[in-house]
Chain A
Amino acid sequence: MHEWALAESVIEATAAALGSRHPSCLLGVTVLLGELQAIDREIFTFALETLLQERPFRAASYTLQTDPARFRCTNCGREWTLAECTGLEEDAREAIHFLPETAHAFVRCPSCGSPDYRVQAGRGVRIESLTLDGAGSCA
């Protein structure tokens, strides 16, 4: 249920980005859900909808997209996906869900076994874009 905290952050960041524009200027928000964090889309959506009820820009459309996780080994250059991270125990998955950086405690390069790699994409929650009305006072 910590999806609520992240959904709240999306709403607050959207409000900040909207600034002094009229709430109706916001047409849409595209949110990327990093595959590594394994956000429960249903809970996230419910949290978003519930929290938006109190906000003036609730009429905008909210689109959730999965951002596939990609890793690149600093040691050997191997690139891999989350599907290749086999054998992760439930506790490891939950730790990564809470704090994606803990992946470094559990995931190793499938080629050389190195813990030194970069999470190149799909870490956590990001706002990819805000779509604003380009007409009238919104422009």
Chain B
Amino acid sequence: MIDPRSSVVASRLAGIGRIAAFCSAKGGVGKTLCTTLAGLVLAARGKNVGILDLDLQGSTAHLFLGVTPRMPREDKGILPLPVTDLESARGGGLVLMSAGVLAGNRALALRGHEVSDAILELLAVTIWGPLDALLLDLPPGIGEEVMDLARLVPRLEAFVVSTPSAASIPVVERLLGFLAEVHVPVAGVIANMTRGDGSPVRALASRFHARYAGEVAWEPRVEPALGSAARLGQTAAAAAMDAVLKEAGW
């Protein structure tokens, strides 16, 4: 018995300039916020960007960007949904694929092999077309999502997200060790939701000889902007993400 899907993943991603996973291992550090901000910032620079939400059981990227769950269109595959509320984009675009737009707000309780199956299916049948960048929003943990992407996705880079909290640093440290073991290059380590001191995250990056890309300070304007790509793209957090991406060479 042969599972044919992995044989087309590389060709599906061939037209994409750069591919980065936003990951952390620790929950609640703002991976989705960083992913969606990065998508908005790059689109505002005129880039064509895709976001694949692989937090299958807790998908929220569509909620952040104001994309209403609905069935995607088909054209020799499944087409990602456009993020239409992009006031600041200069000729760029942002599209999204997520299990959340298919399942709506229902619980999607999956066991490990089903997570792997779903990831492989999304990678095999989503037709991204030419993109400057594809951003992968990962759930917490060092599970199927990280392992499958490291195995299946060519040219994968990682943005590692952490808060400066002592509850976050040791967990993210394990992920950095794992990424080194599976040879996934770290584009940058991001200190998220900081309140004046990102130095524990900088020190963490330094221990792994990884690039510290900077910080995205906690900002009260983010919460009311969730659900509007245009408003989210105008926050100070988005400006901070712009600087983070530049520091990381993105």
Contact = CB atoms under 8 A, between A and B. Distances in A.
Interface stretch (A20-28, A54-62, A120-128): A120-128
A4 B76 contact: yes
Nearest to B116: A101
Interface stretch (B83-91, B101-109, B202-210): B101-109
A106 B106 contact: yes
Contacts of B127: 5
Interface in A1-32: 1-2, 4-6, 8-10, 12-17, 32
Interface in A103-132: 104-106, 115-116, 118-119, 123-130
Contacts of B5: 6, 9, 125
Interface in B76-128: 76-78, 99, 102-104, 106-111, 114-115, 117-118, 121-122, 124-125, 127
B148 interface: no
Count class of interface residues, chain A: 35 or more
A8 B114 contact: no
Residue in A14, A123, A124 whose Cβ sees the most chain B Cβ within 10 Å: A124
Interface residues on B, range: 35 or more
A111 to B, nearest CB: 17
Interface string B61-81: 000000000011011111000
B2 A17 contact: yes
Contact of A12 (B1, B7, B77, B99): B7
A46 to B, nearest CB: 11
A2 B102 contact: no
A52 interface: no
A115 to B, nearest CB: 5
B102 A95 contact: yes
Given A1-B74, A98-B78, A126 B109 contact: no
B125 A91 contact: no
Contacts of B77: 1-2, 4-5
Contacts of B1: 32, 126-129
B3 interface: yes
Contacts of A8: 8, 76
Interface string A73-95: 00000000000000000010011
A10 B72 CA distance: 23
A9 B71 CA distance: 22
Contact of B4 (A12, A47, A94): A12
Interface of A: 1-2, 4-6, 8-10, 12-17, 32, 47, 91, 94-95, 98-102, 104-106, 115-116, 118-119, 123-130
20 contacts: A1-B77, A5-B124, A5-B127, A6-B4, A6-B124, A8-B76, A12-B4, A12-B7, A12-B8, A101-B99, A101-B110, A102-B99, A102-B103, A104-B107, A104-B109, A104-B114, A115-B107, A125-B5, A126-B1, A128-B1
Interface of B: 1-8, 11, 56, 71-72, 74-78, 99, 102-104, 106-111, 114-115, 117-118, 121-122, 124-125, 127
Shortest Cβ-Cβ A-B pairs, 3 listed: A13-B4, A4-B76, A5-B77
Given A101-B108, A101-B115, A129-B1, 6 more contacts: A4-B77, A5-B77, A17-B2, A94-B71, A124-B117, A128-B1
